[in-house]
Amino acid sequence: MMKWEENVRKVVPYVAGEQPNRPNMIKLNTNECPYPPAPGVRKAAENMESAALRLYPDSNAQPLVDALAAYYDVKPEQVFVGVGSDDVLSMAFMTFFNSGKPILFPDVTYSFYDVWADLYRIPYRTCALDENWHIHPEDYKQPNGGVIFPNPNAPTGVEESLETVEEILQANPDVVVIVDEAYVDFGGKSALPLLKKYENLLVVQTFSKSRAMAGMRIGFCIGNEKLIHYLNDVKFSFNSYTMNLPSQVMGVEAVKDDTYFKATTAKIIATRERVKKELTSLGFTFPDSKANFIFASHKEVPAEELFRALREADIYVRHWNKPRISNSLRISVGTDEEMDRLIAFLKEYLEKRV
């Protein structure tokens, strides 16, 4: 190693799901929405004047902040938006997990958390989920520098009750507790009502899944005004103009169309529940998912084999070679037609194989 390399900030980056794009392929590997964004988003895209791109965007993304504040019935000062919830989470790690004490998160969870912790030199300790993939609230009653967990969890889809979330909040008044609600719109219960009781709670959500806008990169969080103020101080010390103008304009349109939002999420939930039954009849088991994906393993056929066979058939799902989860596939919920093709393929494959 050269001398200069010794002082490089070395990190092992997060590995995102692949983004292949071929006609007729079925992409169920990154939990995107299989339906288009709200019609107003399309209209806004069509009406965008390229001349408007000459100017810097609003550095606060104020129209989007205001729309979200109105929708969730909070003050604009309680809302922070970022370039996807990854950006929001990354800023939150940098802002709030600064004590030098280990932060806590589940052993099986979103695999970006340990990457940010390493990037920002934040010590961390993972707490093992129980055999049903649930959090043990007791684990979060040890001294720590902050807590983060997704609810519903990824990649399991398992939801914790608001009682569990509150038990963790009650045990941790001296640190910031972040609840990552990337998947909450598919039937989960949001922790937002707890904001009135806990000024150290930060709830993070995204437009990437339930609002069908992964390509626009819009995420946000809601919390106490003081938390949001500190978050903005760090954001403005890092990069002021993070969210581009089209994302701001189209994000507002997505928030405006609640009817479309509710109809789309209801459709995905209905498909998910049907697919659960079909997977069960094919010999799969899975924890009950409240997200837009199902974390399934087969009783007899290894996940890695199924992953490869599906891929050969141009059906992409996600598989990790990691402790505890290497025999499961995370299957995003697509359209009914896509899921029918998935089920038909699995049925035929398993009939031949088992």
Identify the CA nearest to 260 among candidates 174, 343, 185, 173: 185
> Which residues 180-199 are close enough to bind ligand PMP by CB under 6 A?
180, 182
Dihedral of CA 275/281/284/286: which sign? positive
- Assess contact for 128 and 107: CB atoms under 8 A: yes
- Work out whether 203 is an interface residue with ligand PMP (CB under 6 A): no
Judged by CB under 6 A, which of 34, 150, 157, 187 binds ligand PMP?
150
* Cβ nearer to ligand PMP, comparing 57 with 219: 219
* Cβ nearer to ligand PMP, comparing 83 with 227: 83
- Work out whether 222 is an interface residue with ligand PMP (CB under 6 A): no
- Work out whether 85 is an interface residue with ligand PMP (CB under 6 A): yes
Q: Provide, rounded to whole angstroms, the least separation between the CB of residue 351 and ligand PMP.
A: 33
Task: Pull the structure tokens for residue 14.
Answer: 């997060």
* Cβ nearer to ligand PMP, comparing 180 with 253: 180
Q: Provide, rounded to whole angstroms, the least separation between the CB of residue 206 and ligand PMP.
A: 3
Q: How many CA atoms lie within 13 A of 36 on its CB side?
A: 8
> Could you tell me how many residues of this chain bind ligand PMP (CB under 6 A)?
12
Q: Provide, rounded to whole angstroms, the least separation between the CB of residue 5 and ligand PMP.
A: 30
* Cβ nearer to ligand PMP, comparing 44 with 182: 182
Q: Provide, rounded to whole angstroms, the least separation between the CB of residue 243 and ligand PMP.
A: 12
- Work out whether 208 is an interface residue with ligand PMP (CB under 6 A): yes
- Work out whether 106 is an interface residue with ligand PMP (CB under 6 A): no
- Work out whether 154 is an interface residue with ligand PMP (CB under 6 A): yes
Q: Provide, rounded to whole angstroms, the least separation between the CB of residue 340 and ligand PMP.
A: 25
- Work out whether 102 is an interface residue with ligand PMP (CB under 6 A): no
- Work out whether 156 is an interface residue with ligand PMP (CB under 6 A): no
* CA 327 to the chain's CA centroid: 22
* Cβ nearer to ligand PMP, comparing 154 with 203: 154
- Work out whether 152 is an interface residue with ligand PMP (CB under 6 A): no
- Work out whether 206 is an interface residue with ligand PMP (CB under 6 A): yes
Residue nearest to ligand PMP (CB): 84
- Work out whether 86 is an interface residue with ligand PMP (CB under 6 A): yes
- Work out whether 219 is an interface residue with ligand PMP (CB under 6 A): yes
| Binding-site ranges for ligand PMP (CB under 6 A) | 84-86, 110, 150, 154, 180, 182, 206, 208, 214, 219
